Amino acid sequence: MIKRASILFIVVAMAAFIYGGRAHAEEAEQRFTVVIYETLTDESVMAAWLAYAFTRGNWYEKAFFEAFPSEKEYRYTFEEEVDARRTLCQVWSELLETDATLKDKYLDEVSMVFKSGYLGEYVAYYIGFPEEAGLRTDEFAKWAAENISAHKFETRSGIDIPQEQDGEI
């Protein structure tokens, strides 16, 4: 029961953080739906992926326009994906602090990438943002071959926006 309460607290706290800063009630209306792409039976794994999806939702509704003030329409960006994967890793790390027996191959490996400082390179490599300058792609490739050679990239959640707004992202 403590585990479930901790996970629920993390998800609620994350949602409050993301949506709590809105000044007007109409701005607080969520314009996206969280989508889980596969059956997740482990609540901790689900909590981490919900954090990923809510971070993407925050980019769709707010953070994109703060990061790119001259843009008039949302578009999926490298910065958004890095931020969402960072949040995924941070939530997984916090959950591991409360229960060191938690295991998930993907989350454990992407967390290693995050802790090693290669999250930007990871996103560029696996999702394909070749235009991002300043990335240590060769260094990351060597590190990945030594540390996560059999790694399989995953995305288990995302957001769905209403059709009139662009569709699933």
pLDDT of residue 98: 95
Residue 16 belongs to domain spanning: 2-165
Task: Report d(CA 57, CA 14) in Å as an integer.
Answer: 12
At 164 the pLDDT is: 60
Q: How many CB atoms lie within 10 A of CB 82?
A: 20
Tally of domains within the chain: 1
H-helix or E-strand spanning residue 34: strand 33-36
Tokens of 167: 């569709």
Give the single-character DSSP code of 36: E
Per-residue pLDDT at 30: 61
pLDDT in tens, the chain (169 residues): 445 444 444 554 455 444 443 333 344 466 889 999 888 889 999 999 999 999 999 999 999 999 999 999 999 999 999 999 999 999 999 999 999 999 999 999 999 999 999 999 999 999 988 777 889 999 999 999 999 999 999 999 999 987 665 555 5
Tracing tokens 């109409």 back to the chain, one arrives at 26
CA dihedral sign, ordered 105, 109, 115, 119: negative
Helix (H, G, I), strand (E, B) or coil at 89: helix
Q: Which pairs from 6-9 meet CB under 8 Å and 24+ separation?
A: 6/95, 6/98, 7/43, 7/44, 7/46, 7/47, 7/95
- pLDDT score, position 40: 86
